[in-house]
Amino acid sequence: MSDSSVCSIQKRPSILQLIGLFALVFFFGFLFSRLGLLKPQVSLGVGIGVWAVFMLGLVAASSSCIAVCGGLLLSSAAKFNERYRSATRLGHLRPVTLFIVGRLISYGILGGLIGLLGKALSLTPLVTGLITIFAALYMFVMGLEMLQLAPRWLKRCTPRIPNRVAHRIIDAEGKEHPIMPVALGAATFFLPCGFTQALQLYALTTGNFLTSASLLFAFALGTAPALFALGWASSSLKGKLGNFFFQFSGALVIVLGLWNIQNGFTMAGYPLSLPNFGTETVQASQDPYVTYDGESQSMQMIVDANYVKGYLPNRFTIRAGVPTRWEIDASRGAGCLSVLQSRPLGIRHLLTSGINTIAFIAPSKPGTYPFTCSMGMFRGEIIVVPNS
């Protein structure tokens, strides 16, 4: 079936339908948040085993950490189902299965290489942020196409496979070559999930290929049931219900794309936030969470997954050019809050349960320096003022 015939079947929703779809997405997001389903409730302990990591994957699959790879799976599977409506039920599940297989393979092999080669395969927050932004833009465009809202110029800007290559990766029946969904699933290893990045940082300390590979593979295996269920729903629902789910998926993918664009910029060190009009900068000597003894300064912070902002406090004022100790109580940290990072400050630290200390020299240039969890969901800022 050609793309043009498919577009004639899939109608663009009306304005009222669009309002209803996005309202439903935000309602479910609010409901899941109130029920605590989107909060990271499991922390990464020292010496964690394979079985515990598998259970961690099951938990992560029900949290916001699945938003990126779930959005990619949903958009690609839904687009496949739109183009190949005549495929059998097993045929529709083919890209979903291959996506998960690619994810399992990459987590096993690349996870092992991290343990063996160490920081050589560990991406910086800037690179992770840029990858997240690219994936989020892809999801946003795919969501618009699923709702028949993408203008032609935007479709032309979307990266596409050259025709010569496309003919090689599509077989005679018009089905995608296995390398496509496998490659997309494999690429999710580089996308931010708080649990994944915490495990990757932990894998750096093992120094063993088999141990590291087993841990990362077990985590990916734990997320597989939820991803397969999501893909099954997108491919098995038919008729009006299937059409509604397809449109709902489009709205959901758009929201996830916008959400991850913001998170990507935050991880890269350029948070998108509204200016704090009317908020005065506290003097360094007046910040109750910062102490100064004339030579060095100390910051105290609590990380709490049950706290709406994640960090308490999430705003500090310190002196420029002074040796600084950042004392962090991560007893209640979990998920993406298990990793604290700040690209401008050169900090990326795996937080273990209890008191963690990060030592650094405060920047000599006054300004505002953001910090965030590994997914950019929870954020804060350090305001550096002249040392006077």
What does the domain layout of the chain look like in residue ranges? 3-267, 284-385
**What is residue 366's three-state secondary structure?**
coil
Average of per-residue pLDDT across 74-101: 69
Burial of 240 (0-12, 13-18, 19+ CB in 10 A): exposed
- pTM beyond cutoff 0.75: no
pLDDT value for 169: 38
Pick the CATH number of 284-385 from 1.10.10.2160, 2.40.50.140, 3.40.50.300, 2.60.40.420: 2.60.40.420
pLDDT value for 167: 42
Q: Inform me whether the pLDDT recorded for 320 exceeds 80.
A: yes
**Using CA atoms, how far apart are residues 111 and 188, in angstroms rounded to an integer?**
12
pLDDT value for 360: 94
Could you tell me the pLDDT band of residue 161, with boundaries at 50, 70 and 90?
very low
pLDDT value for 84: 55
Could you tell me the pLDDT band of residue 155, with boundaries at 50, 70 and 90?
low
Quick check: 375 and 192 in contact, CB under 8 A?
yes
pLDDT value for 200: 74
**Using CA atoms, how far apart are residues 296 and 317, in angstroms rounded to an integer?**
14
The tokens describing 382, both together, are 């350090």
Q: Inform me whether the pLDDT recorded for 312 exceeds 80.
A: yes
Lowest mean pLDDT among 13-27, 195-209, 366-380: 195-209
pLDDT value for 173: 39
Q: Inform me whether the pLDDT recorded for 132 exceeds 70.
A: yes
Could you tell me the pLDDT band of residue 4, with boundaries at 50, 70 and 90?
very low
**Tens digits of residue pLDDT in 350-388:** 888 889 999 999 999 999 999 998 777 788 999 999 987
Could you tell me the pLDDT band of residue 297, with boundaries at 50, 70 and 90?
very high
pLDDT value for 371: 93
Quick check: 338 and 330 in contact, CB under 8 A?
yes
The distance in angstroms from the start CA to the end CA of the chain is 72
Averaged pLDDT of the chain = 75
pLDDT value for 228: 85
pLDDT value for 278: 45
- Of 54-58, 60-64, 75-79, 305-309, the range with the highest mean pLDDT is 305-309
Q: Helices in the chain by DSSP H: which ranges?
A: 3-9, 15-34, 50-60, 67-83, 89-117, 125-146, 152-157, 163-169, 179-187, 194-204, 209-236, 239-267
Q: Spell out the residues 6+ positions from residue 194 whose beta carbon is closer than 8 angstroms to its own.
A: 40, 60, 65, 335, 336, 337, 338, 339, 373, 374, 375, 377
Lowest mean pLDDT among 1-5, 124-128, 367-371: 1-5
Q: What percent of the chain has pLDDT over 70?
A: 68
- Of 11-15, 143-147, 315-319, the range with the highest mean pLDDT is 315-319
Q: Inform me whether the pLDDT recorded for 171 exceeds 50.
A: no
Q: Inform me whether the pLDDT recorded for 177 exceeds 60.
A: no
- Of 69-78, 87-96, 122-131, 301-310, the range with the highest mean pLDDT is 301-310
Say if strands 323-332 and 297-304 run parallel, antiparallel, or are unpaired. Answer: parallel
